[in-house]
Structure 1
Amino acid sequence: MTAPSPCIQVCVLDRATGHCIGCGRTGEEIGAWPWMPDATRARLLAQLPARIAALEARGLRGDLTPRLPPA
């Protein structure tokens, strides 16, 4: 089963870490997501909570809400 993308439509890369402040992935990981094997996606998804927590600790996430396209 293919894991859904963790993207929340808040796409800004932190210059210090290279991690997106929305989903926690790097630009390279974002670009490779559609072709990543499920096992690689699962390993990456397991890393994201720690990355997001580190971004939050640095005050980079604030009150993020997903920016979904208008209906």
Structure 2
Amino acid sequence: MGKYDAKDVKSPCVSICALDENEICVGCYRTGMEISRWGGMSGDEKREVMMQVKEREKSSYI
């Protein structure tokens, strides 16, 4: 088992499900692939996605 349990990482979904031209959700900043794989990801994988989500969200305000 990884450092984090999958159930410990909450989905960033905000029920605004629309992908932009870069295939990034405008609501949660995950890629379509990350969204579809979320339920089967390990906790560590989810934490990695969440770090990427933070970076995508930050760069969307530039």
Q: CA deviation at 1:55?
A: 2.7
Match of 1:5 in 2: 11
Match of 1:23 in 2: 28
Indicate the RMSD between aligned Cα atoms, in angstroms. Answer: 1.2
Larger Rg: 1
Q: What is the percentage of aligned positions where both structures have the same residue?
A: 32
TM-score, length-scaled by structure 2: 0.79
Structure 2: 5+ residue stretches without partners: none
Q: CA deviation at 1:53?
A: 2.2
TM-score, length-scaled by structure 1: 0.70
The equivalences for 1:1-71 within 5 A come to 1=5, 2=7, 3-15=9-21, 17-57=22-62
Structure 1: 5+ residue stretches without partners: 58-71
The structure 1 segments of at least 4 consecutive aligned residues displaced by more than 4 Å after TM superposition are none
What are the superposed Cα offsets for residues 2-52 of structure 1, whole Å, 9 maximum, x if unpaired? 21110000111111x211010000111101000001100011101111111
Q: How many residues align?
A: 56
